[in-house]
């Protein structure tokens, strides 16, 4: 028997059986990228991790509303509460409109998600598209007494909130330490406490990203957008909220506070955090200058890489590590992943070519049937144990041993019960394609393959073996390629007939 689907909840620090509020619907929110630069492999790891969760929930039969936002305003340099907007800064640097920056890097993000076969979310809202809702939530927080205005900016009152609620419970921080461990406010500061965070900031003179509000021409705080969009599309309390581990504090801690203060309910039931991709043990980050970009990986054009690696190799490498563990990117891991991925896809090609047959002369092998069912169970056990993809893949490789056995004639298909055979085939295909999201990367060097065939064609022509000549011509035509006999050479072109 398979155990139920359990996920690790950052909020309770426990693996918990997943129970949606309103099954079969599942509401899932993942913090999307701040689109001021190309996404790096670290960002990609986190989004791929949540793609697996999304896919597995669908596989389990849930209907998932998956919201992943685009942060296009409010995320300030150094994740601070003062200073330049990351997008505004980039726009000035590159002499672009802020929304041009947003579009450029959103396009890049989408391209990368597609090439890795990550599914698009159900809704992809942006912060700038929800200004009215953000202003409304600030008004609610002011009215409830959890926020205050100073000089046209509005801040969340953490001390006030912590009188009735537990600020710090998500990230495991102690409110007294947070309140006492801060620098002295110098009287110039607009905040009452250093850990208070901005809900609305009045724009300074040079700040280009600004909107009108009841308090000032300004812009919303970074933490607000996710509370607002999560609530708008998934409700005041929804099932799952995810993001990278580095967002746990302050971003998600602030979201918990905003949602709770506003609605007096827990905003999220399961908080999930994906761990960091590292380079030589250090977090991959734009600011540390150790980023590897997807295109650099696919072309091999980065000093840290020995060679190019394909998108599916990267996907396989991600799945060899658990999403809550850090993962160090290395040539060794990628080379092993490349082999693993090919083995898995060879299995897929084999299994798709199998069909069931009965033979009264061959007895059913009860032990083998039982073994196969138990391997299938192990695949689910892996996924049900907080998405342990490495265990699930090990299970699939065990299944592959049986599939190879059939291919080599060591296992006779009629020795399997039809139900077991179908389950084996369906599990392998659905896990590889639907749950883990692998696609077959076809060989790129089609042109060299055609040249080899044309060499054969030329030799057949010289030997006047016209049957073979016609055969090659016919087969290439089926593939959409026509052979052209020129005076002094043989060429090919795409068939136009
Ligand atoms: P950002 O664009 O910086 O907001 O990041 C987008 C997502 O990538 C967030 O969920 C981050 O937590 C995540 N992220 C950033 N750096 C890394 C990293 N080195 N490894 C894994 N995830 C990361
Ligand atoms: Zn967020």
Residue nearest atom 15 of ligand 1, based on CA coordinates: 43
pTM for this entry: 0.93
pLDDT at residue 206, as a whole number: 86
Half-sphere CA count of 68, side-chain side, radius 13 A:
25
Report the nearest atom of ligand 1 relative to the CA of 284.
19
Using alpha carbons only, give the angle 230, 231, 236 rounded to the nearest 5 degrees. Answer: 130
Q: Is the pLDDT confidence value at 183 over 70?
A: no
pLDDT in tens, 420-461: 999 999 999 999 999 999 999 988 888 889 999 999 999 999
**Which regions of 281-420 does DSSP assign to beta strands (E)?**
282-283, 327-328
pLDDT at residue 180, as a whole number: 84
Q: How far is the CA of 283 from the centre of ligand 1 (A)?
A: 10
Does domain 16-274 fall under CATH 3.40.50.620? My reply is: yes
Query: What own/partner pairs with CB < 8 Å and gap ≥ 24 does 135-139 have?
Result: 135/200, 135/213, 135/214, 135/220, 137/199, 137/224, 137/227, 137/228, 137/231, 137/258, 137/262, 138/199, 138/200, 138/213, 138/215, 138/220, 138/224, 139/214
pLDDT in tens, 132-167: 999 999 999 999 999 999 999 999 999 999 999 999
H or E segment and range at residue 366: helix 366-384
pLDDT in tens, 305-364: 999 999 999 999 999 999 999 999 999 999 999 999 999 999 999 999 999 999 999 999
pLDDT band at 186 (very low <50, low <70, confident <90, very high): low
To test the pocket of ligand 1, the residue of 34, 106, 118, 244 to mutate (highest count of ligand atoms within 8 Å of its CB) is: 244
My answer on whether omega of the bond before 426 falls inside 30° of 0, hence cis, is: no
Query: Cα separations (Å) of 226 from 280, 301, 327, 347, 463?
Result: 32, 35, 27, 41, 72
Percentage of the chain with pLDDT > 70? 98
Q: How far is the CA of 241 from the centre of ligand 1 (A)?
A: 15
Whole-number mean pLDDT of the chain? 95
Residue nearest atom 6 of ligand 1, based on CA coordinates: 33
pLDDT band at 131 (very low <50, low <70, confident <90, very high): very high
Q: Is the pLDDT confidence value at 394 over 70?
A: yes
Percentage of the chain with pLDDT > 90? 89
Give the number of whichever ligand sits closest to the CA of residue 228.
2
Q: So what CATH class is 279-435?
A: mainly alpha
Pocket residues for ligand 1 (CB within 6 Å)? 31, 33-34, 42-43, 45-46, 243-244, 246-247, 276-277, 283-285
Domain extents for the chain?
Answer: 16-274, 279-435, 446-494
Q: Is the pLDDT confidence value at 185 over 90?
A: no
Residue nearest atom 2 of ligand 1, based on CA coordinates: 33
């Amino acid at each position: 028997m398979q155990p139920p689907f359990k996920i690790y909840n950052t909020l309770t620090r426990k693996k918990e059986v997943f129970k949606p509020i309103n099954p079969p619907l599942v509401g899932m929110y993942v913090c999307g990228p701040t689109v001021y630069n190309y996404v790096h492999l670290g960002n990609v790891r986190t989004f791929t991790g949540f793609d697996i969760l999304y896919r597995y929930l669908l596989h389990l039969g849930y209907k998932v509303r998956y919201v992943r936002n685009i942060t296009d305003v409010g995320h300030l340099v150094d994740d601070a509460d003062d200073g330049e907007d990351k997008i505004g800064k980039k726009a000035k640097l590159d002499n672009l409109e802020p929304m041009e920056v947003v579009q450029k890097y959103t396009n890049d993000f989408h391209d990368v998600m597609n090439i890795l076969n990550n599914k698009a979310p159900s809704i992809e809202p942006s912060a700038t598209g929800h200004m009215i809702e953000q202003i409304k939530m600030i008004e609610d927080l002011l009215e409830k007494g959890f926020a205050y205005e100073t000089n046209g900016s509005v801040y969340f009152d953490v001390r006030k909130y912590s009188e009735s609620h537990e600020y710090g419970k998500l990230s495991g921080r102690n409110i007294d330490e947070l309140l006492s461990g801060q620098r002295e406010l110098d009287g110039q500061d607009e905040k009452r406490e250093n850990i208070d965070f901005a809900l609305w900031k009045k724009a300074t003179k040079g700040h280009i990203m600004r909107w009108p509000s009841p308090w000032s021409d300004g812009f919303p705080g970074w933490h607000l957008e996710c509370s607002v969009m999560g609530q708008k599309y998934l409700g005041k309390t929804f099932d799952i909220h995810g993001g990278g581990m580095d967002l746990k504090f302050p971003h998600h801690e602030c979201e918990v506070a905003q949602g709770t203060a506003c609605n007096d309910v827990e905003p999220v039931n399961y908080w999930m955090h994906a761990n960091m991709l590292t380079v030589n043990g250090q977090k991959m980050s734009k600011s540390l200058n150790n980023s590897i970009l997807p295109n650099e990986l696919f072309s091999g054009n980065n000093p840290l890489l020995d060679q190019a690696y394909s998108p599916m190799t990267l996907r396989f490498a991600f799945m060899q590590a658990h999403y809550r563990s850090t993962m160090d990117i290395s040539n060794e891991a990628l080379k092993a992943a490349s082999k693993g991925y090919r083995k898995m896809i060879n299995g897929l090609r084999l299994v798709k070519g199998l069909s069931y047959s009965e033979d009264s002369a061959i007895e059913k092998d009860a032990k083998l049937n039982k073994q196969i069912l138990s391997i299938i169970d192990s695949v689910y056990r892996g996924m049900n144990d907080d998405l342990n993809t490495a265990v699930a893949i090990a299970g699939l490789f065990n299944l592959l041993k049986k599939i190879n056995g059939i291919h080599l004639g060591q296992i006779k298909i009629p020795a399997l019960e039809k139900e077991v055979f179908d389950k084996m085939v369906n599990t392998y295909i659905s896990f590889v394609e639907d749950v883990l999201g692998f696609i077959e990367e076809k060989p790129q060097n089609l042109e060299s393959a055609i040249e080899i065939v044309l060499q054969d064609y030329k030799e057949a022509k010289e030997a006047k073996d016209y049957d073979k000549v016609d055969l090659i011509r016919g087969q290439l035509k089926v593939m959409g390629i026509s052979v052209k006999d020129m005076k002094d050479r043989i060429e090919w072109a795409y068939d136009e007939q």
